[in-house]
């Protein structure tokens, strides 16, 4: 299915699960669903500072060659997101690393990764499911980016054979906010074919060119405050993802909370305690 420019691709979360409602000693109770509106106050556009294409000949999980340029150079596999099994087996992954050191906005932010993919000019081929994984960045072009862990799947984009270049937008607010709140200044994303795909040949292309930064995936940050209290990741709900941050921000009576935790201080008394937790429960949506 094609996506128009600006579409948000939530797809499916690769590691989505229903966890117990008891986390970190707190018991979270579900409440009614509330809607949120995110006013935009400012914006920063960040382009990758390091990137490349990594080839795994044999598709055995061991990377063999790295091409750190996007200029249609030899060996010519740059930007070809590929998985081939059987005779001529190979896998090609593309990675992008972003420097967040220049971010001036206060956490939390709304972060969107926008990429342009096109289909392989081969028929017949099944649709290619491109998995977008986030992983710790070292801001170095390295073969290790092929399988850097730990990683998390932030979204998927499905590309049909012969599909025209199509923009996809993926919400990566959780990844970026975690990095910024932890004092990190890096974020990295890897594009690869979903490993669980049953067929033998899958391919999609990203036509990036070093001489034209606009052709590369762009990370757009907006300073946004959700009107829904406790919505730490500014995604319009209050869920277990937000609770993980609540647990980390909790100070007890009279404590002083850290950067990014203000949204949890429901009674505005400069600490995050059991009264704020009660308010969190009332706002919990799923």
- Inside any domain, residue 278: yes
CATH code of the domain containing 235: 1.10.1330
Give residue 44's pLDDT: 92
Query: Is residue 104 domain-shared with residue 120, that is, in the same domain?
Result: yes
Query: Is residue 202 domain-shared with residue 252, that is, in the same domain?
Result: no
147 token code pair: 């399988």
Instruction: Burial-class residue 151 by CB neighbours within 10 Å (0-12, 13-18, 19+).
Output: middle
User: Own/partner pairs for 195-200, CB < 8 Å, 24+ apart?
Assistant: 195/83, 195/131, 197/83, 197/126, 197/129, 199/85, 199/126, 200/84, 200/85, 200/86
Tokens 């289909």 found at:
119
**β pairing state of 152-159 and 128-135:** antiparallel
Query: Is residue 180 domain-shared with residue 146, that is, in the same domain?
Result: yes
What is the tens place of the pLDDT at every residue in 151-160? 999 999 999 9
Give residue 283's pLDDT: 87
Q: Rounded to an integer, what distance in angstroms lies between the CA atom of residue 106 and that of residue 222? A: 10
Q: What is the largest CA-CA distance in the chain?
A: 65
Q: What is the pTM of this model?
A: 0.69
Query: Is residue 59 domain-shared with residue 117, that is, in the same domain?
Result: yes
Residue 39 or residue 192, greater confidence: 192
Query: Please, which residues have CB within 8 angstroms of residue 82's CB and are 6 or more apart in sequence?
Result: 90, 91, 92, 193, 202, 203
Query: Is residue 101 domain-shared with residue 231, that is, in the same domain?
Result: no
State mean pLDDT over 31-58.
72
How many other C-beta atoms can be found within 10 angstroms of the C-beta atom of residue 79? 24
Give residue 178's pLDDT: 86
Q: Residue 259: which pLDDT band, with cuts at 50, 70 and 90?
A: low
- Inside any domain, residue 158: yes
Percentage of the chain with pLDDT > 70? 82
Q: Residue 247: which pLDDT band, with cuts at 50, 70 and 90?
A: confident
Query: Is residue 77 domain-shared with residue 184, that is, in the same domain?
Result: yes
105 token code pair: 């906005």
What is the tens place of the pLDDT at every residue in 72-92? 877 689 999 999 999 899 999
CA 280 vs. chain centroid, Å, equals 25
Query: Is residue 113 domain-shared with residue 237, that is, in the same domain?
Result: no
Last residue of a domain, one of 224, 241, 268: 224
Model confidence at 60: pLDDT above 60: yes
Model confidence at 20: pLDDT above 50: no
Query: Is residue 193 domain-shared with residue 58, that is, in the same domain?
Result: yes
Query: Is residue 117 domain-shared with residue 244, that is, in the same domain?
Result: no
Kindly state the DSSP code that residue 5 receives in the 8-state scheme.
T
- On whether the CB atoms of residues 38 and 234 are closer than 8 A, the answer is yes
Residue 22 or residue 158, greater confidence: 158
Query: Is residue 206 domain-shared with residue 242, that is, in the same domain?
Result: no
Query: Is residue 180 domain-shared with residue 247, that is, in the same domain?
Result: no
CA 216 vs. chain centroid, Å, equals 16
Give residue 248's pLDDT: 84
Query: Is residue 171 domain-shared with residue 251, that is, in the same domain?
Result: no
Residue span of the structural domain in which 255 resides: 31-39+226-283
- Inside any domain, residue 18: no
Last residue of a domain, one of 224, 240, 269: 224
Q: Rounded to an integer, what distance in angstroms lies between the CA atom of residue 281 and that of residue 279? A: 5
- Inside any domain, residue 94: yes
State mean pLDDT over 50-55.
97
221 token code pair: 């940050």
Tally the C-alpha atoms within 13 A of residue 245's C-alpha that lie toward its C-beta. Answer: 28
- Of the candidate ranges 99-108, 151-160, 199-208, 226-235, the one whose mean pLDDT is the lowest: 226-235
- Inside any domain, residue 25: no
- On whether the CB atoms of residues 181 and 260 are closer than 8 A, the answer is yes
What is the tens place of the pLDDT at every residue in 114-146? 999 999 998 888 999 999 999 999 999 999 999
Model confidence at 3: pLDDT above 70: no
Give residue 225's pLDDT: 62
> What are the two backbone dihedrals, phi and then psi, of residue 146, each rounded to the nearest 5 degrees?
-60, -40
Which three-class secondary structure state does DSSP give residue 278?
A: helix
Q: Residue 43: which pLDDT band, with cuts at 50, 70 and 90?
A: confident
- Rounded mean pLDDT of the chain? 83
State mean pLDDT over 46-57.
97
How many other C-beta atoms can be found within 10 angstroms of the C-beta atom of residue 179? 23
- Inside any domain, residue 24: no
What is the tens place of the pLDDT at every residue in 170-221? 989 889 988 988 888 999 999 999 988 788 999 999 999 999 999 999 999 9
State mean pLDDT over 30-59.
72
CATH code of the domain containing 106: 2.60.120
Number of domains in the chain: 2
């Amino acid at each position: 299915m094609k996506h128009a420019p600006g579409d948000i691709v939530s797809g499916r979360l690769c590691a989505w699960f229903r966890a117990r409602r008891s986390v970190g000693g707190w018991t979270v109770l579900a409440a009614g669903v509330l809607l949120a509106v995110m006013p935009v106050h400012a914006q920063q556009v960040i382009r990758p500072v390091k990137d490349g294409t990594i080839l795994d000949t044999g598709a055995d999980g061991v990377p063999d060659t790295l091409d750190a340029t996007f200029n249609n150079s030899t060996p010519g596999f740059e930007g070809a997101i590929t998985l081939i099994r059987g005779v001529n087996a190979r896998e090609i992954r593309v990675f992008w690393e972003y420097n967040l050191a220049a971010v001036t906005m206060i956490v939390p932010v709304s972060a969107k990764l926008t990429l342009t993919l096109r289909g392989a000019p081969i028929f017949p081929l099944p649709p290619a499911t491109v998995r977008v994984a986030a992983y710790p960045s070292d801001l170095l072009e390295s073969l290790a980016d092929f399988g850097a862990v730990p990683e998390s799947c932030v979204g998927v984009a499905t590309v049909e054979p012969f599909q025209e270049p199509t923009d996809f937008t993926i919400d990566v607010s959780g990844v970026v906010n975690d990095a910024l709140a932890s004092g990190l200044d890096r974020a990295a994303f890897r594009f690869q074919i979903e490993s669980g795909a049953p067929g033998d040949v899958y391919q999609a292309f990203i036509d990036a060119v070093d001489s034209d930064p606009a052709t590369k995936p762009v990370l757009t940050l907006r300073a946004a405050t959700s009107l829904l209290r406790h919505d730490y990741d500014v995604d319009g709900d209050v869920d277990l993802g937000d609770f993980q941050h609540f647990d980390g921000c909790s100070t007890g009576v009279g404590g002083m909370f850290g950067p990014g935790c203000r949204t949890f201080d429901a009674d505005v008394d400069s600490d995050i305690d059991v009264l704020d937790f009660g308010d969190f429960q009332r706002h919990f949506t799923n």
